[in-house]
């Protein structure tokens, strides 16, 4: 079919990338350059297959699109990814990308391979964070800005490029799961997170099922049921304390939404069942939240919620005031939960040598002082 471009209708937008755009935005963008609505719809579907399923980075490869149209697209747009400022690979196979979304806007994503099983990409939803959890390195970086849906998806494109896993339905692909556990609070950027999840889960595109996408929140209670309704993603809660006084201190958003409010919201999450459990993350801080009495209180708190618990050994960072609980303490804590019927794996720290482990992400947008760099080098070689 021949499409007539009405180039007089809209001024040419600055050349920008189409890669990572959601289907509605692809459509809008094509309409803006003067394509009639129906072909724009079809063209957008074709484009998303090439961009997000095949992973191509040049319009020339889009062989079912006319040459005329490919040339037209290439004069206006690219299929580029944001610049990779740094890429590191850990001795344990974990990979970290520092992505430059714009001048002084850098965010990190981490690929965590699993032995014998598929792996997860941990993506950032914001650069920096507003929450100031006392044990989290990202919390020491002020919020730079929310990432757009396209920028969130671009992190997955970059990882798939790096892993060589195109097309998206490659058999035995290693990048099979997405966790929103990188920098930032996803529920303070829910519109973009929801749009990104639509793109990631599109079977004709990136093809990552919604049950393989987990969104973690420190507890923005009013947004929790909305997250479920809009995305059907799996829910994870960064709990870390079982009493309001302690949680107020280490996860300060608790002062706004206390444990009772948080748990009411969790119970209202649509679709919870034994097959779709909430994951509770609990960082093990020596002498702070790791007593057996707290383990027993945790069991009480979780009653009647289909839940599992991830115990996260605290990962150190320069200037942190906490230490990780002793291994025996973590195991005894896990025993209490296991005996009560909650699966509670102890998360093996991954990528500590490249500062990619939970809570260690903080971009160099805020430059480290020489002393901080030295401490970071010491901590990573420890
Ligand atoms: N803001 C969201 C998304 C970040 S997820 C949330 O809080 O859930 C990052 C996870 O790593 C959270 O569970 C966080 O509490 C945990 N974390 C932060 N700092 C850590 C550290 N130093 N060691 C281990 N886990 C940490």
Please say if 108 is a catalytic residue: yes
Q: List 107's β-bridge partners, or say none.
A: 99
Domain range list for the chain: 23-76, 83-365
Residue nearest to atom 26 of ligand 1 (CA): 359
pTM of the shown model: 0.90
Structure tokens at 161: 């490029």
DSSP annotation string for 255-315: GTS-HHHHHHHHHT-TT-BTTBPEEEEEEEBTTTT--HHHHHHHHHHTTTS-EEEEEEEPP
Ligand 1 atom nearest residue 136's Cα: 19
Indicate the burial class of 153 (C-beta count within 10 angstroms; 0-12, 13-18, 19 or more): buried
CB 276 within 8 A of CB 270: no
Compute the distance from residue 214 Cα to the ligand 1 centre, in Å.
14
- Residue 278 has a CB neighbour count (10 Å cut-off) of 21
Residue numbers in the chain where pLDDT is lower than 70? 1-15, 35-39, 115-117, 359, 361, 363-382
32-57, pLDDT tens digit by residue?
877 655 567 788 899 999 999 999 99
What residues line ligand 1, using a CB cutoff of 6 Å? 133, 135-136, 181, 185, 216-218, 238, 281, 283, 312, 314-315, 358-359
Compute the distance from residue 126 Cα to the ligand 1 centre, in Å.
14
23-76 fold: DNA polymerase; domain 1 (1.10.150)
Place of tokens 């002082």: 369
CB 173 within 8 A of CB 164: no
Closest listed residue to residue 22, CA positions, set 121, 191, 123, 149? 149
Residue nearest to atom 7 of ligand 1 (CA): 218
CA dist 58 and 369 (Å) reads 41
* Residue 250: partners with Cβ closer than 8 Å, 6 or more residues away: 133, 134, 135, 240, 241, 285, 288, 289
CB 105 within 8 A of CB 116: no
What pLDDT sits at residue 145? 93
Instruction: Supply φ then ψ for residue 285, to 5 degrees.
Output: -110, 120
Please say if 72 is a catalytic residue: no
What pLDDT sits at residue 376? 54
Exactly one of 129, 133, 136, 358 is catalytic; name it. Answer: 358
83-365 fold: TIM Barrel (3.20.20)
Tell me how far CA of residue 38 lies from CA of 3, 23, 296, 361, in angstroms.
10, 14, 60, 44
60-103, pLDDT tens digit by residue?
999 988 888 889 899 999 999 999 999 999 998 899 999 999 98
DSSP annotation string for 139-170: GGS---EEPPHHHHHHHHHHHHHHHT--STT-
Compute the distance from residue 253 Cα to the ligand 1 centre, in Å.
13
CA dist 121 and 190 (Å) reads 19
3-class DSSP state of 178: strand
Instruction: Quote the distance between the C-alpha of residue 110 and its chain's center.
Output: 9
Tallying the residues shown for the chain, one arrives at 382
Helix or strand holding residue 249 (H, E): helix 244-250
Ligand 1 pocket mutation pick from 123, 348, 358 by most atoms within 8 angstroms of CB: 358
Structure tokens at 99: 């992505």
Tell me how far CA of residue 265 lies from CA of 41, 106, 228, 305, in angstroms.
38, 32, 11, 12
């Amino acid at each position: 079919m021949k499409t007539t471009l009405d180039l007089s209708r809209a001024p040419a937008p600055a050349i920008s990338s189409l890669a990572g755009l959601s289907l509605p935005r692809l459509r809008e963008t094509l309409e803006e350059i003067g394509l009639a609505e129906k072909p724009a719809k079809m063209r957008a579907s074709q484009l998303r297959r090439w961009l997000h399923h095949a992973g191509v980075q040049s319009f020339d490869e889009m062989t079912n699109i006319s040459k005329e149209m490919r040339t037209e697209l290439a004069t206006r747009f690219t299929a580029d990814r944001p610049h990779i400022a740094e890429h590191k690979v850990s001795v344990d196979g974990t990979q970290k990308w520092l992505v430059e979304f714009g001048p002084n806007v850098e965010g990190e994503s981490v690929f965590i391979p699993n032995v014998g099983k598929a792996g997860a990409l941990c993506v950032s939803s914001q650069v920096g964070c507003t929450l100031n959890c006392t044990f989290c390195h990202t919390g020491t970086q002020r919020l730079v800005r929310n990432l757009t849906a396209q920028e969130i998806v671009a992190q997955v494109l970059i990882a798939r490029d790096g892993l060589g896993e195109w097309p998206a339905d490659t058999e035995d692909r290693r990048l099979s799961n997405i966790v929103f556990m990188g920098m930032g609070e996803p529920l303070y950027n829910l519109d973009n997170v929801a749009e990104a999840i639509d793109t990631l889960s599109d079977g004709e595109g990136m093809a990552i099922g919604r049950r393989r996408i987990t969104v973690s929140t420190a507890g923005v209670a009013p947004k929790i049921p909305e997250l479920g309704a809009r995305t059907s993603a799996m829910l994870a809660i960064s709990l870390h304390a079982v009493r309001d006084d302690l949680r107020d201190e280490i996860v300060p958003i608790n002062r706004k939404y206390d444990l009772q409010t948080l748990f009411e919201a969790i119970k209202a999450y649509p679709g919870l069942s034994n097959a779709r459990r909430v994951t509770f993350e609990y960082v093990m801080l020596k002498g702070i939240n790791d007593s057996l009495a707290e383990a027993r209180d945790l069991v009480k708190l979780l009653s009647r919620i289909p839940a599992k618990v991830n115990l996260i050994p605290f990962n150190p960072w320069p200037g942190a005031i906490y230490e990780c609980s002793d291994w025996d303490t973590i195991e005894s804590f896990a025993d209490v939960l296991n005996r009560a019927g909650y699966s509670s794996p102890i998360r093996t720290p991954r990528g500590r040598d490249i500062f990619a482990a939970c809570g260690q992400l903080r971009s160099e947008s805020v430059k480290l002082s020489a002393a901080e760099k030295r401490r970071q080098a010491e901590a990573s070689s420890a």
